[in-house]
Structure 1
Amino acid sequence: MRILLVGDEASLPADLIDYIGDLGDEWQVQRVADGNGAIATIASSPVDAVITAPHLPDLTAATLLGQIRTLRPETIRIALIDADSSTRPPPARIIGVAHRFLPLPLSPEVLLDALTSLEELRELLDSPHLRTSIGRIEKLPSPPHLYLSLKHALEEDENCDTARIADLIAGDPGVAAKVLQLSNSAFFNTGRSITDLRAAVTRLGLSTLRDLVLASEVFSGQSLSNAERNALQMRALAASRMAGKLLPASSADLGATAALLADIGLLLPGVRNEREPQVAGDDRPGHAEAGAYLLGLWGLPMPIIEAVAFQMQPQRSNLRSFWVTGAVHVATALVSGAAVNEEYLAKVGMLPKLDAWREQAAALSGLALEA
């Protein structure tokens, strides 16, 4: 694997290069100091992975990774974040272009976990059987256009005001009505009733609002009955809130969105529900992998795709730490009444928290019944 490090030695120390070099001849690492140097390097010869420091002398990390996405879309893109950024979400621009976010100082073992996990996911989503199965579906669900419009607006201007966001939502009366309905439900109601979209934006906050819009769009398929749609949506919202509580602030939004979309594969025809026993000879793709493939077609961030793909078997992600995939596994299992992989939780050091998480899930399930 050929790896390009972008940044100075303060962010990407020499011992990291030495560690990668000791992995074997199949691992090669190169360093450049700035973004333009990285672009020139990749333009002349493809690399398997790019790892960029949070601060570069010429380009922002988001600009660099966005250009690499256009130039070499197959390249794994990893963004490093400062240690003090763990208390807040990564910038929206970075979320849209990076496959993975890793904290500084960067441990060589953490980097190796990330690279092997992303390679595994790339191989999974490039499965000929999965591509053929999805390709047989005559009409795939449409991308969530309003959600993507909100996402792009926030990427362009992270200080986008509530009036502009409310105007975007108002452009789809059906979604606007659903947002107001849900913002006044037991899930989110913390005071007086809301009848104004601007007030809903202010009360809910941008991350929750995005999830409400996403749920409204994704689960509006005509193939579902009203009862099926409401049950799927409420379970998704409960899992979303649960997953967000299991992660630090820097990853909470990603976890919440991934849990919200975890069952999107169930909307596809000819897909097997992996929470039900598999019948011998049934070679249909599972809903987790199929859902992840669909989200890849929509262009959603890789941490979300990875979490959806490995939600049933989180140990397949190869990560030795509890991150988005682990949170989605726990949240979706507890909300749906399925078994949690306790062996996996023990491996990542989270098993002692399971009892408390069960209590949180029970409380959220109660809210779902009231909503």
Structure 2
Amino acid sequence: MRILFVGGEDSLPSDLIALVADMDDGWQVQRAADGTAATALIADAPQDVVVVAPSLPDMPVATLLGQIRTLRPETSRIAVFGGQPPARVLSLAHRFLPLPVGEAQLLEAIGSLEELRELLDNPALRERIGQIEKLPSPPQTYIALAHALEAEDDTSANDIAQLIAGDPAIAAKVLQLCNSAYFSAGRTITDLRSAVTRLGMATMRDLVLASEVFAHGTRSDLDRPAMQQRALVASQLARRMLPDSSAELGATAALLADIGLLLPGIRDERAAPDTQPADAPGHTEAGAYLLGLWGLPMPIIEAVAFQRDPARAGTRSFWVTGAVHVATALAASEPVREDYLQRTGVLEKLDGWRGHAERLLGLDETQHA
């Protein structure tokens, strides 16, 4: 894998780059001091990953990222920043690393991108996604919330409410979802602290993620509220199907299963083939690739990629991919692969899962009656 670092010693020190170069014999590492040198290297030869410093001596970071997108759209673009990246950088970079760049964090980012390329070995998909003028940005409020919950055992409802309130648009959307028929049980929730207390941390994390993800995207032909409600149903179903140790992975994967539909030029794999562009990537692999660029865990990426054919997953047991397959199929009122469930020993649970899905979808129908 070819890796290019762009920037000076202040943010990308030589010993850090040397560490990356020594980590894997298959990693070919280069360094460019500025944007002009980087552009020349990128024009001369493909790069798999480019890591760009917070500032360059000769051009804005966004300018270089835009040139990389034009010259090598298949290249994964990582931006390093000490604070909130500018909006243009947010739309052009695939992933962000905070200053100072930690060794483990950098190696994990590069390693996960290599693993993503091995899982989805599709150069045409990488190029198509890389050419999109404005990719959905990683969900910043969700990421901050997840970090807060992982870092502090005693994180309070008030702490979580304050974090969500930092983005008023997301806060308003979360409150709207809290008062939907899925979660309110007829009781009005008027503030974020009450919402966290009543719904719990896990459900609140799902709502924040749904609010951020489905608010973005350039396509105007989608019924986003319907997609969001279907995703929330699938998320609840997947969480119910898995043990506590993997329930959150399944819930998040099911929530994000259709994220590929938000990208322009992507084929909806549920729609009739004659209504879709034949050469367009399918929404499952496109969504999985986007999530991989964001840095989500590999079980989530694999579950999204193989949701319609869970037998392709790396594990033979019923795990996250299997749960996402069943949950998304039931939420969309589609057939479930019962042969797969039979092979993995969970077919007898299908009737119970289907009944739970029907109860959730019945609530949805009542809400919109």
Give the TM bin, normalised by the shorter chain.
Answer: 0.5 to 0.7
1:344: Cα distance to partner? Answer: 1.0
Q: Does 2:320 match 1:284?
A: no
Q: Residue 167 of structure 1 is aligned with which of 162, 166, 174? A: 162
Amino acid at match of 1:220: A
1:227: Cα distance to partner? Answer: 7.8
How far apart in 2 are the matches of 1:312 and 1:226?
23
Aligned to 2:252: 257
1:310: Cα distance to partner? Answer: 0.8
How far apart in 2 are the matches of 1:221 and 1:239?
20
Residue pair 1:245, 1:252 contacting (<8 A) in 2 also: yes
Q: Residue 144 of structure 1 is aligned with which of 136, 139, 159? A: 139
- The within-5 A match list for 1:1-371 is 46=24, 68-71=104-107, 73=109, 75=111, 122-190=117-185, 192-221=187-216, 223=218, 228-279=223-274, 282-371=278-367
With the length of structure 2 as denominator, give the TM-score of the two structures. Answer: 0.68
How far apart in 1 are the matches of 2:121 and 2:105?
18
Q: CA RMSD in A?
A: 2.8
Residue pair 1:238, 1:368 contacting (<8 A) in 2 also: no
Amino acid at match of 1:71: L
Amino acid at match of 2:134: K
Residue pair 2:232, 2:255 contacting (<8 A) in 1 also: yes
Residue pair 1:166, 1:201 contacting (<8 A) in 2 also: yes
Amino acid at match of 1:303: P
Amino acid at match of 1:347: R
How far apart in 1 are the matches of 2:304 and 2:245?
19
Secondary structure of residue in 1 paired with 2:273: coil
Residue pair 2:217, 2:262 contacting (<8 A) in 1 also: no
Q: Which moved further from structure 2: 143-152 or 239-248?
A: 143-152
1:233: Cα distance to partner? Answer: 0.7
Residue pair 2:299, 2:320 contacting (<8 A) in 1 also: yes
Amino acid at match of 1:135: G
With the length of structure 1 as denominator, give the TM-score of the two structures. Answer: 0.67
Secondary structure of residue in 2 paired with 1:283: coil
1:224: Cα distance to partner? Answer: 5.5
In structure 2, the CA distance between the partners of 1:200 and 1:226, relative to structure 1 (3 Å rule), is: farther
Give the number of aligned pairs: 273
Residue pair 2:235, 2:251 contacting (<8 A) in 1 also: yes
1:276: Cα distance to partner? Answer: 2.2
1:206: Cα distance to partner? Answer: 1.0
Spell out, residue by residue over 1:118-145, the C-alpha distance to the aligned partner (whole angstroms, 9 max, x if none). 97x6523342111011122111112211
In structure 2, the CA distance between the partners of 1:331 and 1:142, relative to structure 1 (3 Å rule), is: same
Structure 2, unaligned runs of 5 or more: 1-18, 27-101
- Identity across the alignment (%): 61
How far apart in 2 are the matches of 1:216 and 1:161?
21
In structure 2, the CA distance between the partners of 1:45 and 1:147, relative to structure 1 (3 Å rule), is: closer
Secondary structure of residue in 2 paired with 1:195: coil
In structure 2, the CA distance between the partners of 1:189 and 1:289, relative to structure 1 (3 Å rule), is: same
Structure 1, unaligned runs of 5 or more: 1-40, 49-65, 77-98, 100-117
Amino acid at match of 1:342: E
1:226: Cα distance to partner? Answer: 10
Q: Which moved further from structure 2: 172-181 or 206-215?
A: 172-181
1:266: Cα distance to partner? Answer: 0.3
- The structure whose RCO (Cα within 8 Å, separation 6+) is larger is 1
Amino acid at match of 2:320: V
In structure 2, the CA distance between the partners of 1:43 and 1:159, relative to structure 1 (3 Å rule), is: farther
Amino acid at match of 1:229: R
Aligned to 1:54: none
1:300: Cα distance to partner? Answer: 1.4
